[in-house]
Amino acid sequence: MSATTPIATTNPATGETIRTFEPYDDAEIDRRLARAASAFAGWRRAPLAVRTAAVRRLGDLLDAEKERLGALMTLEMGKPIVAAIEEAAKCATACRYYADNADRLLAPRRIGEGDGAGEVVHQPLGPVLAVMPWNFPFWQVVRFLAPALTAGNVGLLKHSSNVPQCALAIEDLCARAGYPDGVFQTLLVGSAAVARILDDDRIVAATLTGSEGAGRSIAAAAGRNLKKTVLELGGSDPFVVMPSADMVKAVKTAVTARTINNGQSCIAAKRFIVHERIAGEFTTRFVEGMKALRVGDPADPETQLGPLATATLVDELHRQVTESVALGAKLLLGGKRLDRKGAFYAATVIADPPEGSPAASEELFGPAAVIFRARDIDDAIRIANDSPFGLGAAAWTADAAEARRFGLELEAGTVFINGMVASDPRFPFGGIKRSGYGRELASEGLYEFTNTKTIRAGGGITLSE
Ligand code: NAP
């Protein structure tokens, strides 16, 4: 969204603006920063059992209210309702992961014995600014807040301007889960306010999930202030299919992996790299699968493909598809806006995009798939890695040696063999190259916003148990 995007709920299935919100003024931002700083002074010293009890209650609330929260996501950004409810339930699993494991993960690590022995502890940093995207409006926030708050930090959320009610709902859930006043707050502000907030001494670090452009400006503002950042940016994940793969499963998964969340997932499979021996069969079956998707109102549980989140996203996707086709890519399906109210784009398949065309080099954020042919495994790995991004990757093969090569040689933060890339609280998640840096989830996500401190004792002092 642009710096001037209004903070509003606009139903993407109809184009109707339902509610608008006044952005917080400087005085309100200042009050919230002050509240965060004073909340941190208490929260950092709260016993770990108090912090894990709060994150467990948050998980329980997310689960108990998943239908209501799912409906809010569907309303504000068009996610099909079944997936929206699942998203709220998945947030609960991340909360429970940290409630169950923080004790073990945050326990001091003792090294050595006697004089000079020491321990390593993880201590919270302070108020962290979280700038988040609309595409998984609960999951992206919870996967930051569950570990960060459990580690003793406090959070300030600047959510996407098109999901203000989701942002306020998360703040409300945190209050009801028992987090003390100021430990988690939402800032209803536009993106233009972010650099100024990052300049404030009360903010110690920032995390962003979003586009490359937002990543560059947040990294620049944080760099100016020497503040730590975690960046989860875009992706153009490869999905490689080798001749030994289970074709039926690979095609079915490929369709889901491309169109999950109406095609707007950072880890959606976007580039399908198929061995030339099976490329014809894969392409025919894949186009059939894309054509068969039920398009419709995201509030209808039968809908498989809903609208994009905004009309601007439709314009951008259409530009990328038409430019790629004009440069010589083959259009096999779709390639047009749907003739109905709302931000709908047809399921689209293009093949053999020329080097440098948008389909070959940019992230397509919508239901548009790109198919490439590979001569052999070396060629498949070369095409897969020929991307500025490195978020996720999938490879389909029945050959263990090939699987190992894909696992080790694909340039990505996560590689799935014979499956669809997905996040899971037990595994670290993040990217390399222009997909960003840092990790979320698992122990890595818990430690990102901590001071890993070494304490060593001599002179006859033994560090207490
Ligand atoms: P976006 O436009 O970058 O927005 C993300 C957040 O950044 C929003 O809160 C936005 O606020 C803010 N923002 C935008 N420009 C900014 C700037 N110059 N300075 C400070 N803040 C700024 O991204 P999006 O379109 O919402 O999300 C889609 C992108 O996110 C895709 O590239 C997708 O791949 C990526 N993504 C990555 C992951 C991952 O885990 N790696 C997960 C999900 C999505 P406003 O709304 O007010 O503009």
Ligand 1 pocket test target in 5, 160, 237, 414 with most atoms within 8 Å of CB: 160
Share of the chain above pLDDT 90, in %: 96
The model's confidence at residue 116, banded by pLDDT at 50, 70 and 90, is confident
What's the CA-to-centroid distance between 135 and ligand 1, angstroms? 9
Does residue 266 have an active-site annotation?
yes
Question: Torsion-angle region of residue 412: left (phi > 0), alpha (psi -120 to 50) or beta?
Answer: beta
pLDDT tens by residue, 60-106: 999 999 999 999 999 999 999 999 999 999 999 999 999 999 999 99
pLDDT tens by residue, 300-355: 999 999 999 999 999 999 999 999 999 999 999 999 999 999 999 999 999 999 99
Q: In whole angstroms, what is the distance from residue 274 CA to residue 254 CA?
A: 11
Of the candidates 91, 166, 266, 362, the residue annotated as catalytic is 266
The model's confidence at residue 115, banded by pLDDT at 50, 70 and 90, is confident
The model's confidence at residue 4, banded by pLDDT at 50, 70 and 90, is low
What's the CA-to-centroid distance between 157 and ligand 1, angstroms? 13
Ligand 1 nearest-atom number relative to CA 365: 31
What's the CA-to-centroid distance between 213 and ligand 1, angstroms? 8
Q: In whole angstroms, what is the distance from residue 43 CA to residue 62 CA?
A: 22
Q: In whole angstroms, what is the distance from residue 167 CA to residue 185 CA?
A: 9
| CA separation, residue 276 to residues 248, 279, 295, 356, 379 (Å) | 17, 5, 31, 22, 10
pLDDT of residue 258: 98
pLDDT of residue 286: 98
The model's confidence at residue 460, banded by pLDDT at 50, 70 and 90, is confident
Q: What is the mean pLDDT of residues 418-444?
A: 98
SS3 percent helix, strand, coil of the chain, rounded to 5, is: 40, 20, 35
Q: In whole angstroms, what is the distance from residue 2 CA to residue 297 CA?
A: 27
What's the CA-to-centroid distance between 29 and ligand 1, angstroms? 21
78 CB-near residues (< 8 Å, 6+ apart): 11, 12, 13, 262, 298, 306, 307, 308, 309, 342, 343
- Backbone φ and ψ for 397, nearest 5 degrees, come out as -165, 155
pLDDT of residue 60: 98
pLDDT exceeds cutoff 70 at 1: no
| Count of all residues that appear for the chain in the document | 465
Termini Cα distance of the chain: 51
Please give all residues whose beta carbon lies within 6 A of any atom in ligand 1, as ranges: 1, 5, 131-135, 140, 158-161, 190-191, 194, 209-211, 213-214, 217-218, 232-235, 266, 363, 365, 391, 431, 435-436
CA 186 remoteness from chain centre:
18
The whole-model pTM stands at: 0.96
pLDDT exceeds cutoff 80 at 5: no
Cβ-in-10-Å burial (0-12, 13-18, 19+) of 418 comes to: middle
pLDDT of residue 461: 87
Q: What is the mean pLDDT of residues 208-232?
A: 97
Q: Which DSSP letter does residue 315 get?
A: H
| CA separation, residue 352 to residues 52, 55, 243, 251, 379 (Å) | 51, 48, 19, 18, 14
Ligand 1 pocket test target in 5, 135, 187, 232 with most atoms within 8 Å of CB: 135
pLDDT of residue 465: 56
Of the candidates 76, 87, 232, 448, the residue annotated as catalytic is 232
pLDDT tens by residue, 176-196: 999 999 999 999 999 999 999
The model's confidence at residue 462, banded by pLDDT at 50, 70 and 90, is confident
Using DSSP, state whether 204 is helix, strand or coil: coil
Q: In whole angstroms, what is the distance from residue 192 CA to residue 250 CA?
A: 43
Q: Which residues of 45-56 are buried (b: 16+ CB within 10 A; e: fewer)?
A: eeeeeebbebbb
| 10, amino acid identity | T
What's the CA-to-centroid distance between 165 and ligand 1, angstroms? 17
CB-facing half-sphere around the CA of 52: CA atoms within 13 A: 15
Ligand 1 pocket test target in 208, 209, 258 with most atoms within 8 Å of CB: 209
pLDDT of residue 464: 65
pLDDT exceeds cutoff 70 at 453: yes
Q: What is the mean pLDDT of residues 373-380?
A: 98
pLDDT of residue 463: 77
Please state, rounded to an integer, the average pLDDT across all residues of the chain: 97
Closest CA to 162 of 365, 315, 310: 310
Ligand 1 nearest-atom number relative to CA 136: 43
pLDDT tens by residue, 252-293: 999 999 999 999 999 999 999 999 999 999 999 999 999 999
pLDDT tens by residue, 11-64: 999 999 999 999 999 999 999 999 999 999 999 999 999 999 999 999 999 999
What's the CA-to-centroid distance between 216 and ligand 1, angstroms? 11
- Backbone φ and ψ for 116, nearest 5 degrees, come out as 85, 0
